A and B are shown apart, each in its own frame.
Chain A
Amino acid sequence: MSERIREKLNILADAAKYDVSCSSSGGTRKNDNKGLGNSHASGICHTYTEDGRCVSLLKILLTNHCIFDCAYCVSRKSNDIERAAFTVEEVVSLTMNFYRRNYIEGLFLSSGIFKNADFTMERLVRVVKKLRLEERFNGYIHLKTIPGASDELIREAGMYADRMSINLEMPTEAGLKLLAPEKSHQDVIKPLSFVQNQIIQFKEEKKLIKSVPKFVPAGQSTQMVIGATPETDKDIMQTADAFYRNFSLKRVYYSGYIPISNDNRLPVLGSQPPLIRENRLYQTDWLMRFYGFHVNELLNDANPHLDIDIDPKLSWALRNLHHFPVDINIVSYQMILRIPGIGVGSAKKIVQARKFGKLRIDQLKKIGVAYNRARHFIKCADTPYQLKDYQSTQIKSFILAESQSKYIKNDVNQLILF
C-alpha cells in the first residue's frame, strides 16, 4: 500500500514540476472554524529544491494520462512513460498530513486531460470540495483551470480555490500552433476572462452583502515556455504585458524550456535550459510591475532582445544617459526607482531620510544602495566634482569590471585603455 503511494507520488510530482508557480501569497482565508490552516498573507516558502526553486505547495498532477499530444509536454500522449492516477482520498490525505507537519502551505493541483475537459475538472473540484468542506482545510489551494471545462464547473472550483491558473504555454499563437496544433490561445483566453468577470462580480456583490463567499481571492496566473520556439524577448514581454492589463493577472511565469523530447521542432536533448534569459525576463517583469517602466521603454523594435550581460534596468539607463546624473536629494521617487543599483526599499528610505538633511555617500551605502553601480547615475551632497563625461560603453565596462556575474564563469572583460 505505502509502496504504491510512493510510486504514484514520484510519478505525479515529477510530471507536475514543470509548472513554475509555487506562490502561496494573496490568500486571505482565516481559520475561523477551528479547523486546520490559516493563510499567511505574504506566503511562505517551506523549503527550496536543489535547483533553488521554492517549495511552498504540494504540487502534483491528479493523473498524467492525457488525450493531448503537445510536443513540449512530458505527459503527452505519444510519450512512453509510466502513467499513474491518484484517487481523491489519496490527494486529500497527503495534503492534510503534509500540512499538519508544516511541510507545505497547501495544494497545487493540476491534471492531464483524461476522457474530456469536464470529466477532469469535475475530479479536481471533488478534491477541493472534500478538503474545504469535510476536512475543514483553510490552507492555500491553487487549481488549474482545464481549458474547455464548463462554466458551472469552473465557477464551483473558484468558490473553493484561492488561485486559479491556466497556461498560455507559448508566447505567440504561431508558436503554439507549431507545437500543439490542437490548442489555441483562444482556449486560454475564454476561461481566463470568465474567471476574471466572476471575480469582479463577486467583489461587487460583496460590497453590498457581506456574506458573499470568496471567489479566487488570490487571483489568476499564467505561464509561458521560453526558448522552445523562436520568439523575441519583445514578443514575450508584450504578450505578458497585454495579459497583465486585460485579465489583471497576479503573475505571469516564464519557464525556460528544458529539453525533454527528440522532436525536431524543439531544441535537442541535453542543450542547456535558457536560465539567464529567463532571469532577465523576470527582471523585466518586475520593472514593469513595481518600478513603473512601460514595456516599450525596455523592449522595442530597436532593442527586441534583452542584454544578457547586464540587467534590463542598467541597460535602459545606459541607453538613456540624457536623464542622468540625477540629484538624489531633489529628484522624484519615480525617478529614484529608475536609477540602477537602487531598489524599492532603498528608494523609500531615501525619500524619507532626505527630509532631515542632504544625504551623503556613506549614508546611501548604509541605507543599502549598491553605490558602485549607482554612482555613475547620481549626485548627492558630497559627490566629487567630475570633469569628464563618460560614454555609456565606458560606464558599462566600469560596472562589468567591478561586478562578478554569477553566470559568466571566466572573465571576458576587455582591457580598458583610456
Chain B
Amino acid sequence: MIIYLIDGSLEGLLCAVFEWFERKPGPVILKTVQHYQPDAFIQTFQVDNDLNKADRVWKGLQRKLDKRWIRHFYCTFLSELPEAYSSLFEFACYIFSNPPGAEANYGNAHVLALSQTAHKVEREKHRMEAFIRFEHTADGMFYCGIDPDFNVLPLIMNHFKNRYADQRWIIYDLKRHYGLYYDLHIVEEIQMKNVESPENVENIESAEHKENPQSIQIPGNLEGACSTENETTSKVWSKPAKNIRSDKESLYAMLWKDYFKSTNIVARKNTKLHIQHVPKRYWKYLTEKRQDS
C-alpha cells in the first residue's frame, strides 16, 4: 500500500496514472494535497507534474475511450469531490489494463462511479443554464453571480456564448472566484476583487490578473475533446463602469415575478415537487423567488 499525493490538477492526476504503470506499486491510495494527512505506516509518494507524461496518458485515454466517455472523465474531474480523484485514477488504470470496450462494464464500481458523478455534474451544468438570471446594468452589461456545487463554468461557456451573441455578459463564480466575460466576440476568463454577492459588483474598483487560470493546462487537446473550445485566455478585466441596474431592470424583474405568480394554478399546489425541481439553495439567485424589491 502506498499513498500517491497529487496537487489536485488534471495534469497531476494523469501523471499519477503514468507513475503507477511505471512503478506498478500495487494498491494505491490517491490523495490531494488539500486532503492529505501524513500516515505513519504508509509510504507516501509525491507525484510531480510533467506535461509530457500527462499528455501521453491523455492521448492514451482518447484512443481507448469515445468522446462521450472523455466527457464523463472531464465532468467527474470538474466535480472537485475528494473521492472523485481516486475514482478517476482507478478508472484510468482499469481502462488501460483491459481490452477496449471495458468502460461498458457498469458492474465495475469505478465505471459506475464515473458515470454517476458525471451525471451529477451534467445536472448541475443544466441547472446553471436554467437558473442563471442576468441583471441588466446601466452600462449595458448583463451580469449574474453564481455558486454552483461543481466547477461547471467551463461546461456552460459555449451555451451562453452561442445564445447571447448580441449582448455583453458576465457569469461569475462567487465560490471559486473567477468568471466568464463575453465582449461580443470572444469569451474571456476574468477575476474580480471583493465580490461576494451580485450587489457588491458596484464596489469593484480594480480587477487583477488571474495567476493560475482554472482551465486545464494541457494545450488545446483536452478542451477540443470536451467541446469546450480553448478560448478562455485569462485576462485583466478592465475597470468596469459604475455598475448599477439599468432603469428598465426593475420593471422586467417585476413583470417576471408577476408572470411567475399568474401562471401558478393554486388548486394544484404541490410544494414538495416544486422544491424537488428548484432546490432551496438556488433560490437566492432566482429573481422570481427573491423577496426583495
Contact = CB atoms under 8 A, between A and B. Distances in A.
Nearest to A136: B166
Interface in B247-293: 248, 251-256, 258-274, 276-278, 286-289
Interface in B54-92: none
A100 B142 contact: yes
A130 to B, nearest CB: 16
A134 to B, nearest CB: 13
Given A49-B264, A50-B271, A40 B166 contact: no
B167 A36 contact: yes
A344 interface: no
B189 to A, nearest CB: 20
A314 interface: no
B99 to A, nearest CB: 11
A136 B136 CA distance: 20
A14 B135 contact: no
Contacts of A350: 106
A103 B164 contact: no
Given A49-B265, A52-B274, A349-B106, A367 B112 contact: yes
A46 interface: yes
Given A2-B251, A31-B165, A48-B278, A353 B126 contact: no
Contact of A363 (B107, B164, B288): B107
A48 B252 CA distance: 18
Contacts of A30: 162
A10 B258 contact: yes
B9 to A, nearest CB: 29
Q: Which of B105, B166, B259, B276 has the most CB of A within 10 A?
A: B259
Given A51-B274, A101-B136, A273-B267, A359 B107 contact: yes
B98 to A, nearest CB: 9
Interface stretch (A53-61, A147-155, A156-164): A53-61
A383 interface: no
A406 B273 CA distance: 10
Contacts of B273: 48, 51-52
B40 interface: no
Contact of A103 (B102, B126, B264, B287): B287
Contacts of B253: 101
Nearest to B277: A48
B220 to A, nearest CB: 24
Contacts of A98: 252, 255-256, 259
Given A97-B252, A100-B136, A44 B106 contact: no
B131 A101 contact: no
Nearest to A37: B163
B42 interface: no
A355 interface: yes
B243 to A, nearest CB: 16
Contact of A34 (B165, B274, B289): B165
A101 B142 contact: yes
B251 A36 contact: no
A352 B252 CA distance: 50
Contacts of B130: 44-47
A81 interface: no
B134 interface: yes
A156 to B, nearest CB: 26
Contacts of A14: 262-263
A359 B112 CA distance: 14
B132 interface: yes
Contact of B129 (A31, A44, A54, A363): A44
A97 B264 contact: no
B159 interface: yes
A13 interface: yes
A45 B130 CA distance: 6
A273 to B, nearest CB: 6
A30 B159 CA distance: 11
B235 interface: no
Given A6-B254, A36-B166, A51 B260 contact: no
B129 A40 contact: yes
Given A10-B262, A59-B263, A98-B256, A275 B268 contact: yes
Contacts of B159: 38, 40
Contacts of A366: 109, 112
Given A9-B262, A36-B165, A45-B277, A100 B251 contact: no
Interface of B: 102, 104-109, 112, 126, 129-136, 142, 144, 159, 162-167, 248, 251-256, 258-274, 276-278, 286-289
Interface of A: 2, 5-6, 9-10, 13-14, 16-18, 30-31, 34-38, 40, 44-55, 58-59, 94, 97-98, 100-103, 136, 256, 258-259, 272-273, 275, 349-350, 352-357, 359-360, 363, 366-367, 406
27 contacts: A6-B255, A10-B258, A10-B261, A14-B263, A17-B262, A17-B264, A38-B162, A46-B131, A47-B286, A48-B274, A49-B265, A50-B270, A51-B265, A51-B269, A52-B270, A52-B274, A54-B277, A55-B260, A97-B248, A98-B252, A101-B133, A101-B256, A258-B267, A259-B267, A273-B267, A352-B106, A367-B107
Q: Which 10 A-B pairs have the closest CB atoms?
A: A52-B273, A353-B106, A51-B268, A13-B262, A52-B270, A352-B104, A48-B277, A38-B162, A356-B105, A49-B264
